[in-house]
Structure 1
Amino acid sequence: MKHKGEKPRDPREWNPQLPAAISRLILKCLEKAKEKRFPTADELRAEIGAIEKGIPGTDKEKTKRKSLTSNEITVTFGLKKLFIPVVAAVAAIGLGLVLWRFVFLGQAVERSIAVITFQNQTGDKSYDYLQAAIPNLLISSLEQSKYLHVTTFERLRDLLRQAGKEQVDVIDSELGFELCRRDNVDALVVGSYVKAGDTFATDVKIYDVKTGKLLKSATARGTGAQTILDKQIGQLSRDISRGVGLSKKAAEEAEVQISGSQTSSLEAYKYFSMGKESLDKFYYEDARQNLEKAVELDPQFAMAYLHLYRVHINRNNPQLAAQALEKAKAYSTRAPEKERLYIEAAYARRVEKDTDKEFRILQEIAAKYPKEKEVRSSLFAVYQQKKMYPEAVAEANKALELDPKWAYILNQLGYLYIGMEDLGKAEEYLKRAVSVAPEDANPLDSFGYLYFLTGRLDEAIAQYKEAVRVKPDFGSEDIIAYIYAVKGEYAEALDWLDQFILASPSKNWQSLGYWWKAVFHHTLGQRKQAGMELARAEKAWESLGDKYGPAMAKLVQAHFYFEGGEYDAALRVFSEYQKDIQDAQPQAGRLAVTENDLWLALVEWKRGRIESARQKLDPIQILFSERPKDKGPIFAQLEKTYKILQAEIWLSEGRTAKVLDFLEKDFALRAPFIGPAYARILIWHNFPSEQDVLARAYQKAGHLDKAIEEYRKLITFDPASQDRRMHNPVYHYRLARLYEQKGLRPEAKGEYARFLELWKDADPGLTELIDAKKRFAQL
């Protein structure tokens, strides 16, 4: 029965020369789950044919043999047992032919080639975008040939950075030769385009890099710029493959392999290029707008959908991400091989939940395109998520060998070392990222996060402000506002939220700004204003069809009801939140269950049903004890809430000594992670807002000095601590009561004054406000 349960080994373990595509096909045939195997013999045969085309040969037939029948045979057999041997036979014969060709015919000699910026000779600057678009389209086309190793435009940019010429936009022939020699490229393609009336003509020249000799020149013409995409790219690609120095037979085979473009619209490609560039800089809103324009112009543009998927994942819009990925997969047959493999890798991960398959595909890309740095960053991310940190660092170093000044991977290494709690290394890599890209907002934003984690709040604010200066709509103002709230400077916090809303390029971000205003107004005792801001945010999110945003609004509303003593409403709204968050993030089911159980226990405790609350808490304790030490950012905050609730229950039961022993020895905060899902993390870091159980336990035990000391800690930021909770004005009121109890009237008056200053616009009927005003007047 071993064959039924044991996972098949990668065939390349016993034959490393076996191509990755063949290995993937064999493993798919051996899948245990029926739905993961090829459903029909036709699909298996088509895949074998596609692989066979990609393996160099010697004496291929120049034309396909005509079928022995005039029509496709359509007779079917009802017996399932007859179908299985047929599939097996097709697989065996097809794989045998493919393997025979690979083992016995060997690999043909490849030629490396680079295509540099084209010259715009139209006299019209509106066509400047073609200077990069035409080379990129030629590169995508030429990459289909197994005989050509094509230097991507991204690689040329890497080489420019290494040469200290990153500011160069247009690569002329002299610089092109220099870059090619630096990267050991065999042939260089230079080109230009001109317009006469409606006719567009594109000219290319192919040079031998070592000798400078002109190998071939070619021209393609057509009516209208669109013909560049429709026919000129294909024609020029074939001319280049003939002129680059391949043998006649290899050139002929290369021409067969060269496919059409990944899009049918030149205009769509322009917006795609701009979107991709913005995404590389983490300018998500710019990327979204350009990529959506690209798919509007070409609704079957697979790679534009893949990049849209990446935008939505990073913007924490899982539903929109899923829709974009499904469209990318549906139209992936139009994409060139490398791009199709990227789509398959993303699909394997997000839809098929098959991370092993994703990893195999990424390894295949790395093997086929050794100078493709993006695949190294993808492998880095896979290892990082699996917490295989040495392997992640190794992949990052491979990327840096290709481009030592790649700000993106330097930035990601910084985050990796933050996760490893090696903050010195993190700072080193983030400094390098900023130094190589000083006018890129993302490394500055990342540096702000590092300073936030290490307690350097003013330095964090300065870095985030610098990111906003570099890119006014980058969207760092909400974090600046939050840091001011941690400092207790709520006027500044609200001002920065107003700036965030005004600068927001999307309704989604504006809604987030209103959401934060609701949280801050609630903390300042302005409950009615908080409710209005929250309703505004939720309505705007719902109008976008977003599930995650309304879920966050409901989570906060449930906490508002909870703190206002409206427990039935709190339970109802939290149930609605649970439905929305599971619709938005169905993969996080266990997390939602934990949240729900914890919420029910909180409400039971607040209602005074202590025994019921304790019973609901027991299974949560088991769950947390079973999870690994690194529980993830949301689980870490839920565990904090669980421990506070456990202490509250013991305090309600009169077990004060146990509370003190538990919180003094076993309780520690963890600074929140600022990432795509940061809103949910920060809410659980801050709510329920009364997290002063240790101070109240000291007070109940008669240790007033220790209670005062604990409240002083709660209202005084400690850079050495992990506490990044918002400043809670109510703690000033409670500290003032303790000072008053101790007979320390000046100290009490000072704390009442601070509380009343923060709550100067609070709703008039709140108990703490009424009592503080009365006591302050008496002092």
Structure 2
Amino acid sequence: MVGQTVSHYKILEKLGEGGMGVVYRAHDTKLDRDVALKFLPPYQASDTVEKERFFHEARAASALNHPNVTTIHEIDEYNGQVFITMEMVEGKTLKQLVKTEALSVKKALEIAIQICDGLAAAAEKGIVHRDIKSDNIIQTSKGQVKIMDFGLAKIKGASKLTKTGSTVGTAAYMSPEQASGEEVDHRSDIFSFGVVLYELLTGKLPFKGDHPASLAYAIINDEPQPLARFNDKVSAELQRIVVKALAKDREERYQSVNDMGADLRRERKNWEYAKSTTVPKAEAAPRPKRGLLKVLIPTSAVALLAFLFFLFNPFKVEVSHNQTAAASQNALAVMYFENIPDPEDKDHTGEMLTNLLITALSQASGLEVVSRQRLYDIQEEMGKADAKKITPSLASKIAQRAGVRTMLLGTVLQSQPKLAITSQLIDVSTGKILSSHRLSGYSADQMFSMVDSLALLVRNGLNVSSSPAAEAKSVAEATTNSPEAYRSYLEGIELNKKFYTAEAKAAFNRAIELDSNFAMAYFQLSNLSLDLSDNLTRNGALRKAWQLRDNVAENERLRIEAAYANRIDNNLAKSAELLEKLLQKYPHEQDAYGGLASAYENLQAYEKSLKTRLRAVESDSLDKTSWNSLAYRYAWFNQRKPAFEAIDRYLKLAPAEPNPYDSKGDLYYIFGELDSALYWYQKAVSFRMDFASIEKLGNLALLRGDYAGAQADFRQFGSTPDKFQKAAAEADLLLIPLHQGKLKQLEKQLQDKLALDLAQKFRQEIINDYAALRMTALETGDYAAALKYAQKASAEAKKDPNNKYYGRGGLALAWLKAGNPQTAYKILDEFKRDVVGKVSLGELNYNLAAGFLEYERGNYAAAVEKFEKAVNNLWPNRAPLYEHAVSLLKTGRLEEAVSELKRLCWWVIDTDNFNLSSRPWALTSVKAHYWLGVAYEQQGNKAQAREEYEKFLEIWKEADFNSPELADAKIRLAKLKQTASK
């Protein structure tokens, strides 16, 4: 067929042939691009079953739109020839790759994570590939991975296209259920992917056979050789991941490819940590997340003997005192419990014991217990981030750096069937053992009782007492009585510290499912980023945490009460008072500094806020979060040098996480350096393709008029299992027609989105949809519709009892535009009564709402007065305000107007807590060009005025509504051109 033309495709060369078709490279003469054409072989085209299989493939694959899956453009039939048109992907198959080079573990992980993302997209659509193999996956020269040939894809519930007992696909990659001719689901793809991952890491296949029958037998019955036999760089954790993917029983396999992807991502981060250089002490930055430290620790013969001894030892507690430690101002560091039977601490027994013991001991009077995070920060600073075996020498260095007098070293000797541990209290300055303890005979479910017993022994060894009996709690009362819930909770803490919000939310929800009275799991869930969560749900979680607040330790109770005072009672002063009380007693409670500083910011007490941020880094110079937050505050106050010094400290402490790169991009963005911001956002995305930076890249692409790029970035942002992030990405896509001035098209798309959000009960998105429809109707002059949508948005927002605003500013504006100023101002007066002096930033928001009404009435001087009351107390590098800029222009303050309008042209990313304008940036950034033209004309700068009008008209060249600015810009530009030609 080479040289022939089929439809509008010219066949250039044959690329390959398989059981399901022949593939050619072709040139699309209509769109001037190369594509891949896959033809059903002629001898099968007449077979209705095979033809249906072929169409089935196309329908299944075309349902996928993901960067890691080849795109299907169309399916067609030409002169009896059935074919699919696909994107042309240049690169090497993974089979070719492993034959030509030995892949590093890091590169194998990067490839595997992309495969996971593609398979997750398929699983979400209910699609099973059924033929995952290294020949069906290609890597481009830029490192992007594409899963090809959904030739055996099957939608759940569709009629079987494969006869019972037939085995289709490459046998070496088949799952046991495929080899047995059983029904398959997405877990079959996970097994096949495990085979591919094994091949990437070793260059070999895990199962071998001389013919299909012997190969099928091996897949069903044999265990693969350990990865380390062929690649000594493979960690035990990576071995565990592959083994789990290759489990014979699908119930023991990963149940979701997202779970496997999460494990692979953690392993990649651990690998990067291990390979990163040691961070010098002078370059300390914000708190690194507590990683699930994954380093294989060899077990000594002595430890093995101790393990065997405790295996048969009955339940008992033994204590021997070498010396009594007496000190009124004790400070104690609890080091990581080394897990001898499980050196990688895969089940987190060591981590759980450490954290639970810190919680238990923190209730002791006169004893300051250093947080586990603080100790991990120091450990990472010393280049020992992944060291799970804390030697006495290393422990002493960590303890000295933490400024403690005593440290506790612990060892898990046995975890199954009974727990057995030892611990030693050691004087840091002399190295003398103050007391030693041995506990054994506790079951895994009795871990909490074991920790209570050990805490009592440690307190006795230090000569300190617990809190009064009325306040003292067992560790189960202060946390949870479920080991599995606590494991999930610790995982959520770690993930949230890395800003992996969707995964953290899933972990906290798992903890709550396992223990519905786990107060701190509810509290952590309530603190997750509002961008990815429903505010009503977050406040519901906070209310539940508050109801259970008597079940937690004192420091945690104060945090819950402070958050409740802030978000539920709207009492910022009380919230700040509680947090100050907390920090007085627990000066190293790092999270409290952030909450206190935010409370001061919302009270517009910025000097106190900045001082609190500085107190945070003084308290713990290795706390990542504190350095990150401090950098933003310096940037908002236009202090460039200290801002970048702070962010570079953060970057030094978290070089293997995406967020510091994203934050540095934000800083450049705040200072108006968009090219540098773009570079750092791209660096962040290189760690994780669905990280928040990809949304910012989409915004910047949209600003440049690169609509295809913006669409691709927004879709990538939405390629996540988290439904809230998906909804946010769908909303982002609607910015494209808005930026283009296609408001009628936008209205239809908004109606479609609203219907979906209503069906799925996405409350915050429903409110946003109605608000966007209100804005669109106002812009197009349909004021009756605007009023209807404003009423619906307000009614929906009012369902949250803590929302004292509930869209009343927008509602008042809609009544005004609908010709009823009396109702508009009545609503405004009620709004003022309910929020000023009573709600966080109430006065600011009232002045904005009042300013918008004056602006729409044409009272520009009054509008300026209200806007300046609102924004003058904010930091200098705040977001620009569209209505303020136009009002400045209308009142003759041209230089100020030009300055604000220039910033409006590029300000597309929210980098602070205040969203000021009543219109979205995708609209105001375009209209700002029109108003800049007007301002330049008034200044007599005709050349620049002409340039701005041309920019405005170019962006809105396909606008589909009657815009007064558009009509006026055309008239003004024509006059300028006419004047210039004379």
TM-score (norm 1): 0.69
Partner in structure 1 of residue 439 of structure 2:
220
Partner in structure 1 of residue 111 of structure 2:
none
Q: 1:238 aligns with which of 447, 456, 477?
A: 456
**Count, aligned residues:** 610
Q: Aligned pair 1:674/2:931, yes or no?
A: no
Partner in structure 1 of residue 945 of structure 2:
710
> Alpha-carbon deviations, 1:402-428, whole Å to 9, x = none?
432322111111111222232343233
Partner in structure 2 of residue 510 of structure 1:
726
Partner in structure 1 of residue 135 of structure 2:
none
Higher share of residues assigned strand: 2
Check whether the contact 1:634–1:681 (CA below 8 A) recurs between aligned residues. Answer: no
- State how far apart, in whole Å, the 1-side matches of 2:857 and 2:736 are: 31
- State how far apart, in whole Å, the 2-side matches of 1:136 and 1:539 are: 46
Any residues of structure 2 matched to 1:88-167 within 5 Å, and which?
109-123=328-342, 127-167=346-386
Against the structure 1 CA distance between its residues 617 and 227, is the aligned structure 2 distance closer, same or farther, given a 3 Å change threshold? same
SS at match of 2:377: helix
- State how far apart, in whole Å, the 2-side matches of 1:374 and 1:351 are: 19
Q: 1:260 aligns with which of 464, 467, 475?
A: 475
- State how far apart, in whole Å, the 1-side matches of 2:654 and 2:950 are: 38
Against the structure 1 CA distance between its residues 572 and 433, is the aligned structure 2 distance closer, same or farther, given a 3 Å change threshold? same
SS at match of 2:328: coil
Percent same amino acid among aligned pairs? 23
- State how far apart, in whole Å, the 1-side matches of 2:966 and 2:662 are: 32
Of residues 359-368 and 668-677 in structure 1, the stretch that sits farther from structure 2 once superposed is 668-677
- State how far apart, in whole Å, the 2-side matches of 1:255 and 1:211 are: 37
SS at match of 1:311: coil
1:680: how far off? 8.0
SS at match of 1:325: helix
- Aligned AA for 1:226? D
Structure 1 segments unaligned to the other structure (5+ residues): 1-106, 648-657, 718-724, 748-779
Check whether the contact 1:517–1:530 (CA below 8 A) recurs between aligned residues. Answer: no
Partner in structure 2 of residue 288 of structure 1:
505
- State how far apart, in whole Å, the 2-side matches of 1:256 and 1:640 are: 54
- State how far apart, in whole Å, the 2-side matches of 1:704 and 1:111 are: 70
Q: 2:811 aligns with which of 578, 596, 600?
A: 596
> Alpha-carbon deviations, 1:667-705, whole Å to 9, x = none?
634555615878885844444764566478689x9x898
Check whether the contact 1:193–1:200 (CA below 8 A) recurs between aligned residues. Answer: yes
1:290: how far off? 0.9
Q: 1:630 aligns with which of 873, 888, 908?
A: 873
SS at match of 1:221: strand
- State how far apart, in whole Å, the 1-side matches of 2:810 and 2:531 are: 23
Q: 2:882 aligns with which of 630, 640, 654?
A: 640
> Alpha-carbon deviations, 1:605-628, whole Å to 9, x = none?
9xxxx9996388897666446545
1:112: how far off? 2.4
Q: 1:661 aligns with which of 858, 870, 892?
A: 892
Any residues of structure 2 matched to 1:199-348 within 5 Å, and which?
199-222=418-441, 224-229=443-448, 231-244=449-462, 246=463, 250=465, 257=472, 259-261=474-476, 262-313=479-530, 315=532, 317-348=534-565
SS at match of 2:873: coil
Q: 1:453 aligns with which of 656, 667, 670?
A: 670
Partner in structure 1 of residue 620 of structure 2:
403
> Alpha-carbon deviations, 1:545-595, whole Å to 9, x = none?
433222222222223333444332222112222333454585452x94443
Check whether the contact 1:519–1:556 (CA below 8 A) recurs between aligned residues. Answer: no
- State how far apart, in whole Å, the 2-side matches of 1:611 and 1:238 are: 67
Structure 2 segments unaligned to the other structure (5+ residues): 1-325, 821-852, 960-964
Q: Aligned pair 1:552/2:751, yes or no?
A: no
Check whether the contact 1:634–1:684 (CA below 8 A) recurs between aligned residues. Answer: no
1:256: how far off? 9.0
Against the structure 1 CA distance between its residues 677 and 389, is the aligned structure 2 distance closer, same or farther, given a 3 Å change threshold? closer
- Aligned AA for 2:397? E
- State how far apart, in whole Å, the 2-side matches of 1:682 and 1:513 are: 21
- Aligned AA for 2:350? Q
Partner in structure 2 of residue 32 of structure 1:
none
Partner in structure 2 of residue 412 of structure 1:
629
1:739: how far off? 5.7
Q: Aligned pair 1:498/2:715, yes or no?
A: yes
SS at match of 2:691: coil
> Alpha-carbon deviations, 1:461-491, whole Å to 9, x = none?
2211211212333222222111112222222
Any residues of structure 2 matched to 1:519-530 within 5 Å, and which?
519-524=735-740, 530=746
> Alpha-carbon deviations, 1:209-243, whole Å to 9, x = none?
233233322233345312112x1111111122122
1:299: how far off? 0.9
- State how far apart, in whole Å, the 1-side matches of 2:666 and 2:344 are: 41
1:643: how far off? 6.0
> Alpha-carbon deviations, 1:724-755, whole Å to 9, x = none?
x99554699976766656667999xxxxxxxx
TM-score (norm 2): 0.56
- Aligned AA for 1:674? D
- State how far apart, in whole Å, the 1-side matches of 2:946 and 2:480 are: 63
Check whether the contact 1:486–1:726 (CA below 8 A) recurs between aligned residues. Answer: no
Check whether the contact 2:406–2:427 (CA below 8 A) recurs between aligned residues. Answer: yes
- Aligned AA for 1:511? A
- State how far apart, in whole Å, the 2-side matches of 1:525 and 1:309 are: 38
- State how far apart, in whole Å, the 1-side matches of 2:894 and 2:533 are: 35
Partner in structure 2 of residue 572 of structure 1:
788
> Alpha-carbon deviations, 1:283-326, whole Å to 9, x = none?
22121111111111111111111111110546463211210111
Against the structure 1 CA distance between its residues 694 and 331, is the aligned structure 2 distance closer, same or farther, given a 3 Å change threshold? closer
Higher share of residues assigned helix: 1
Against the structure 1 CA distance between its residues 634 and 548, is the aligned structure 2 distance closer, same or farther, given a 3 Å change threshold? farther
Check whether the contact 1:303–1:335 (CA below 8 A) recurs between aligned residues. Answer: yes
Partner in structure 2 of residue 763 of structure 1:
none
How big is the alpha-carbon RMSD for the aligned residues of Structure 1 and Structure 2? 4.1
- State how far apart, in whole Å, the 2-side matches of 1:546 and 1:346 are: 24
- Aligned AA for 2:724? N
- Aligned AA for 2:437? A
Partner in structure 2 of residue 355 of structure 1:
572
- Aligned AA for 2:506? Q
SS at match of 1:493: helix
Any residues of structure 2 matched to 1:68-79 within 5 Å, and which?
none
- State how far apart, in whole Å, the 2-side matches of 1:458 and 1:601 are: 42
Against the structure 1 CA distance between its residues 200 and 587, is the aligned structure 2 distance closer, same or farther, given a 3 Å change threshold? same
- State how far apart, in whole Å, the 2-side matches of 1:441 and 1:575 are: 41
Check whether the contact 1:122–1:195 (CA below 8 A) recurs between aligned residues. Answer: yes
Q: Aligned pair 1:176/2:395, yes or no?
A: yes
- State how far apart, in whole Å, the 2-side matches of 1:196 and 1:428 are: 45
Q: 1:369 aligns with which of 582, 586, 594?
A: 586
SS at match of 2:429: coil
Against the structure 1 CA distance between its residues 316 and 228, is the aligned structure 2 distance closer, same or farther, given a 3 Å change threshold? closer
Against the structure 1 CA distance between its residues 348 and 305, is the aligned structure 2 distance closer, same or farther, given a 3 Å change threshold? same
Of residues 525-534 and 349-358 in structure 1, the stretch that sits farther from structure 2 once superposed is 525-534
